[in-house]
Amino acid sequence: MKTKELIRQLQEADPSGEDEVSVGNVDIHFVDREPAYYDGCLQVLVRDEAQNGYNITGAKLVSQGNKVVIHTLSITDALWDNAELPIDYSGLTEGQAERYKETHEKVRQEVRDCEKELEQGHNATNLLSK
């Protein structure tokens, strides 16, 4: 999809421009422009705009030119950067909030455990080098 088509569809879906945008239910972290070949060739779906509904008629791989890449960052990924990241669950029902909190607390504990292991390994290396 070309950027102008993405912009058109975004404006059609949300004329006010105030809705959150997600990719696979994950927040967009940033948008970047890269060479088409970067990180593997660009995969492009060929569409027949005359067809309504599913209009994919083929595909092609592209290594020339540029591509705009939408980078996402999930809450789980953000917790790996900061285990103490505050998370607001107020938009959920009590049951939903509890399930998400449980999942996020498990991730937080994994991060803390990894940080502790890394610190212990660092301290052991420092002792051996003395």
CA distance 100 to 15: 31
Dig out the tokens for 43 from the structure. Answer: 């995969």
User: What percent of the chain has pLDDT above 70?
Assistant: 94
pLDDT digits (tens, 9 = 90+) for 87-112: 999 999 999 999 999 999 999 999 99
Average pLDDT over residues 59-81: 97
Give the per-residue pLDDT at 59: 98
Q: Where are the domains of the chain?
A: 1-73, 75-130
pLDDT of residue 122: 72
pLDDT of 24 > 80? The answer is yes
Is pTM, for the whole model, over 0.75?
yes
- Residue 120 confidence class, pLDDT cut points 50, 70, 90: confident
CA distance 28 to 16: 18
